[in-house]
A and B are shown apart, each in its own frame.
Chain A
Amino acid sequence: MLMPISPLPASPRRDPPSVVELFHGFLILGLTGFGGVLPLARRMMVEKRRWLDADEFTDLLGLCQFMPGGNIINMSVAVGLKFRGATGALAAILGLIAAPTVVVIALGALFDRFQDDPKVRHVFAGLAAAAAGLLLSMAAKVAWPLRVSPINSIIAAACVLAVAGLRLPLPPTMLALAPISIAMTWKAARP
């Protein structure tokens, strides 16, 4: 007698999260996500709470990266909307930004209160210099894959020159560079 071959049991899915669970999940994410929330978001939604499977997460991330706005912000909206409609989306995004908003304003108030103290000024000057260093490092990491494509490198360099060098406003710069870049990509994709 042949035993029916059953596929591996799918990872048990929980019930879709409630509005309160959405708020709570993203609240924790907002509180704990230092220096990049996205890896934590994956762990929370895919591994711990199992709201999404790995493919659904990657698919939604693709959408969030395609649209303007912070990836994790868009992710909170998309996940909230998926499970609990507009209310869910609002709960998720409010949960995500609630704690960080309180923390940045508290830090801002501290800075305002003590910025005349030379020691505090020095601390914040060092902090700002380090924050700029983190951005430089991030820029280096995202720019590294571009080195194989001369066209992409030229477009990125033109963007740096326009925005950081000439300090041109962003809307016309994007309106000029984005279509050129997309057209170049389209041309390169054609045989």
Chain B
Amino acid sequence: MTSTLFALALIFGELSLLAFGGGNAILPEMQRQVVDARRWMTAEQFGALFALAQAAPGPNMMVAPLVGWRVAGFLGVAVTSIATFGPSSLLAAFALRAWERFRDRPWRRIVQAGLAPVTVGLIAASAITMARASDTTWGLAAVTLAVAAVTTRTKLHPLIALVGGALLGLCGLGAV
């Protein structure tokens, strides 16, 4: 148990410091760690946890405490929450003190602009990873594409898209 908690702390502490672009940028690495490396759950189960976190309110990093809960109960929640939110928050706190000095420096703009394509790539990689984990049938793949198309073209509320997907799933699209 202690070794599991230690592993959770290590994995999510590292993810915390790599999360340029927020929670949606680190999903492939999270999946690689908890599914491929540690075998704590299947890719499909990880996809379901991600979906639950999307359906809940709040920041888009809530899949982390959910994974912690799944792997090691309430202690797991405590450890993953501290590991996920602690390191990046401390870094932000220290950076805030230096922000006055570096925000107008040319290098700040260049570093930020330079990180942007990497962040975009990570978010796209997350989308592909989660689609691959969740779309186990043609029907589900159709749901993913339909939701992507509709929410890109319209201002449909994400929560309505999620409810729509859940209803389509209930109608048996998952079995097609």
Binding site for B on A (CB under 8 A): 30-37, 59, 62-74, 77-78, 81-82, 86, 89, 93, 96-97, 99-101, 103-105, 107-108, 111, 119, 121-143, 146, 149, 151-153, 155-160, 162-164, 167, 169-171, 174, 177-178, 181-186, 189
Contacts and interface: CB of A to CB of B under 8 A. Distances in A.
A87 to B, nearest CB: 12
B71 to A, nearest CB: 11
Contacts of A163: 28-29, 121-122, 125, 129
Contacts of B56: 100, 103-104, 107
A46 to B, nearest CB: 18
14 contacts: A68-B16, A68-B18, A82-B96, A122-B175, A123-B166, A124-B51, A133-B151, A134-B161, A136-B131, A137-B151, A152-B117, A159-B124, A160-B124, A182-B110
Would you call the interface of chain B mostly helix, strand, loop, or mixed? helix
Given A63-B95, A69-B19, A134-B162, A182 B114 contact: yes
A49 B108 CA distance: 30
A59 B103 contact: yes
Interface in B148-176: 148-149, 151-152, 157-159, 161-162, 164-175
A162 to B, nearest CB: 8
Contact of A131 (B22, B50, B93, B123): B50
A125 B135 CA distance: 8
Contacts of B77: 101, 105
B89 A74 contact: yes
A39 to B, nearest CB: 12
Contacts, number: 360
Nearest to B114: A182
A101 B62 contact: yes
A96 B60 CA distance: 12
A126 B173 contact: yes
Contact of B110 (A100, A121, A129, A186): A186
Given A108-B66, A130-B164, A139-B120, A164 B129 contact: yes
Nearest to A136: B148
A99 B123 CA distance: 26
A152 B113 CA distance: 10
A135 B147 CA distance: 10
A134 B158 contact: yes
Nearest to B14: A171
B158 A34 contact: yes
A65 B112 contact: yes
Nearest to A154: B117
B118 A130 contact: no
A77 B148 contact: no
Contact of B65 (A62, A101, A182, A185): A101
- Which of A136, A158, A182 has most chain B Cβ within 10 Å? A136
B124 A170 contact: no
B117 A181 contact: yes
B40 interface: no
Contacts of A67: 88, 91-92, 95
